[in-house]
Amino acid sequence: MKTAAIGLGSNVGDRLGNLRTAVNALSWSGFLVTARSFVYETPPFGRTDQPRFLNAAIIGEFAGNPSSLLTLLKDVEKRMGRRDRGRWGPREIDLDLLMIPDFVYSSKTLEIPHPGLAERAFVLVPLAEIAPGWVHPVLGIDIASLAEKVKSEAQSFCRIARL
């Protein structure tokens, strides 16, 4: 089994319900969730003409390879009715493979760690809650320190509930 961090986001429909449904679907599919962050309401990223997001992070164990985990994430999104509304558009659910400790990988369809991980407060804040000591395998900086760098942006976040 390998360990991975997954970022979750939703800004369409029952946002909190969507996050919880996604975690349950991942669990039913063999992703063993070992840690869950709080859920944060955050401003939209990339396109501001849409509702606010709820974001969270989970850590879990999985069998197989990173590509099979990505396939699982995309399958859950599809089963939950995610529609393509363009880059950074509104979404029922968004599941991103953020990182696997001590692992770097790049292909046409997958990059680990996630290329935006180190700059996105809506990912770093929840991830720092559950994996503060994890080290970004490319930058060599722990997640807590990366989250501290985006602290001013995170001041607009509202902690909602436990995932």
Catalytic choice (82, 84, 87, 159): 82
Tell me whether residue 91 is one of the annotated catalytic residues: yes
Catalytic choice (36, 94, 120, 162): 94
Rg (CA), the chain: 15
E strand spans, the chain: 2-10, 32-36, 38-42, 53-62, 94-99, 105-106, 111-112, 158-162
Q: Sign of dihedral through CA atoms 19, 24, 27, 28?
A: negative
Q: What would the two tokens of residue 73 be?
A: 């994430």
Catalytic choice (96, 142, 159, 162): 96
Burial of 36 (0-12, 13-18, 19+ CB in 10 A): buried
Catalytic choice (91, 102, 120, 162): 91
The catalytic residues are 82, 91, 94, 96
